[in-house]
Amino acid sequence: MKRRFLKKDLEFYKEKLLNLKDDILKQMRDVMEDTLMKSQKDTAGYTMQIADVATDSYDRDFNLSLVSSERDIVLSIDEALKKIEDKSYGVCNMCQKPISKTRLKAIPYARYCKKCKEKLEKEENK
């Protein structure tokens, strides 16, 4: 059962997704630049304490994991944009029922309705 959004609804979600994607890509660039600058400083001949090295290593790993998570969101956004183009946007990947507009406004790249997402999370936590 596919939900038929009005053209203006699809344009609203498309704009929301594109803006979100731009924001995330900018954040990813900022984090990567910051991490790269810090790495270059670290290797520029500075003598560092062991604790500083450990902290910097942790920060670098943390930043890279953030970028990885944000990359996954960008991929989900791209998938949602493709669904807008083929008019299948807003349909749960699992049960094929419509995803609520409230959920899509909060998470415009949602792949699952709330019920199916909760079911998946329960299975992941077993």
pLDDT, position 65: 75
12 within domain boundaries = yes
Report the length, in residues, of the chain.
126
pLDDT, position 63: 72
pLDDT, position 18: 97
Below-50 pLDDT ranges, the chain? 1-2, 43-45
38 within domain boundaries = yes
pLDDT, position 50: 67
105 within domain boundaries = no
Contact 111, 92 (CB under 8 A): yes
Range of the domain at 28: 7-89
pLDDT, position 1: 45
Beta strand extents in the chain (DSSP E only): none
pLDDT, position 32: 80
19 within domain boundaries = yes
Q: How many CB atoms neighbour CB 110 within 10 A? A: 19
If one counts the domains in the chain, the total is 1
What does pTM read for this prediction?
0.75
96 within domain boundaries = no
108 within domain boundaries = no
Contact 39, 69 (CB under 8 A): no
